[in-house]
Structure 1
Amino acid sequence: MTAPDMNAPIPKIAAMTAAVLLTGGLSACVTSAFDPETDATSPIAPRVQALVDANREYPQWADFPKSLEPLPAPVAIATQVNTLRVTNAGLAGEVSRIDWQETGDPAAYAAEVQARVNAVPVAPVTAETEAEMERFLARTRERGRAPPPVDRRPVQ
């Protein structure tokens, strides 16, 4: 029988000690954050404390409305889960067939896309809408301009 390596447990013990201390410190912070105390020197302290005390037990389960719909049967839930799994598998198959790597020149790709966009004629209604938007923007900018200052000198 060989002697165990005595140096091996030291890092584990140190890590566990650090984890316990860190968890204890964080839990102290969380406890103080969720249990704040009212400043007694504040002029509204009595009102704040009265509101806190009055609403300390709110909400209760009795205050929530009951569901009128019956819970679905476990078989129905299992069917829906299996349907989602099949749909997910089909979608994963479609995604795996997409060529995600762009091997061409980005500038050539941008030029190709721009050519495809330019090949589609603009409908007159779209051009009309663009002109309407420009007129609306001009009117809005004009309305947003500050009025001239008011003369505050007394009238003589």
Structure 2
Amino acid sequence: MTAATLLTGGLSACAGLFDPATDATSPVAPRVQALVDAHREYPRWADFPKVVEPLPAPVAIAARVNTLRVTGGSLAGEVSRIDWQTAGDPEVFADDVRARVEATPVAPVTAQTQAEMDEFVRRTRERGRAPPPVDRR
């Protein structure tokens, strides 16, 4: 009984927080109260947009779901036919991959070594260095 009384008292103390009052001594109080009163009933269901397109019938939704199931099943069948493991010699596979990579043209910048890139960075930093100050004597 005591717990119920304390709980009810605690909840009633919080009830005032949900309906705050505007400070009447504030210079903006009339404007704030007018805005609060104007928007007290917002949003209303009438303000929400109407549904223009009719919702599909449950039969149409079931047909779409079944189409997705059939499509998913055919996709799973295609995936199951893929040979994910190499059945042959790994050296032959590696040679084949190397040949395909070597046949692909490489941009000249990509072929630069680390030393060439470091030299380019050094030259760029040298060009970007400020000149010595002018002697004003």
Q: TM-score range by the shorter chain?
A: 0.3 to 0.5
Structure exhibiting the larger radius of gyration computed from Cα positions: 2
Relative to the length of structure 1, the TM-score reads: 0.34
Relative to the length of structure 2, the TM-score reads: 0.37
